[in-house]
């Protein structure tokens, strides 16, 4: 029996894991202490065909690089701690460095947004 909720939830989890994996790759090192959730999301992602994974990743890389274009040279030298949360039917990935946070939110339909937030106490010009 076709279940729309399960299908959208599966797509949401696949996209969440792909974003987790791809955004994390721009940092020197990314650590997620939520191993059970990370493993669960990865299993949904691995359920996709390799062709579908490649197609999804290619589209995501373009959007990620556009969203992070001003930070890309800096991120490769930074470590991030990743927190994955689920609230109001959306997954939220936060890659926190201490200077800025890269946040991706994936809604129940698999649509996602990537934002960057800077720590207001960090003086970028003095660094």
> pLDDT per residue over 47-76, tens digit each?
999 999 999 999 999 999 999 998 998 999
> pLDDT per residue over 87-122, tens digit each?
999 999 999 998 899 999 999 999 999 999 987 655
Give all strands of the β-sheet with 112-118 in edge-to-edge order: 29-32, 79-87, 90-96, 100-106, 112-118
Provide the pLDDT for residue 64.
97
- C-alpha distances out from residue 96 to 23, 31, 108, Å: 12, 10, 23
More confident position, 119 or 126: 119
pTM of the model: 0.87
User: Does position 36 have pLDDT exceeding 50, yes or no?
Assistant: yes
Do the beta carbons of residue 31 and residue 84 sit within 8 Å?
Answer: no
Q: Where are the domains of the chain?
A: 4-118
């Amino acid at each position: 029996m076709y279940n729309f909720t399960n299908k959208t939830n599966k797509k949401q989890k696949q996209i969440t894991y792909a974003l987790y994996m791809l955004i994390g790759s721009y940092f020197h090192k990314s650590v997620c202490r939520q191993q059970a959730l990370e493993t669960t999301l990865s299993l949904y992602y691995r359920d996709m065909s390799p062709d579908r994974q490649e197609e999804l990743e290619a589209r995501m890389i373009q959007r990620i690089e556009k969203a992070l274009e001003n930070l890309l040279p800096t991120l490769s030298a930074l470590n991030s701690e990743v927190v994955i949360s689920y609230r109001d039917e959306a997954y939220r990935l936060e890659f926190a460095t201490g200077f800025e946070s890269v946040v991706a939110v994936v809604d129940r339909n698999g649509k996602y947004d990537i934002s960057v937030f800077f720590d207001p106490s960090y003086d970028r010009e003095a660094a």
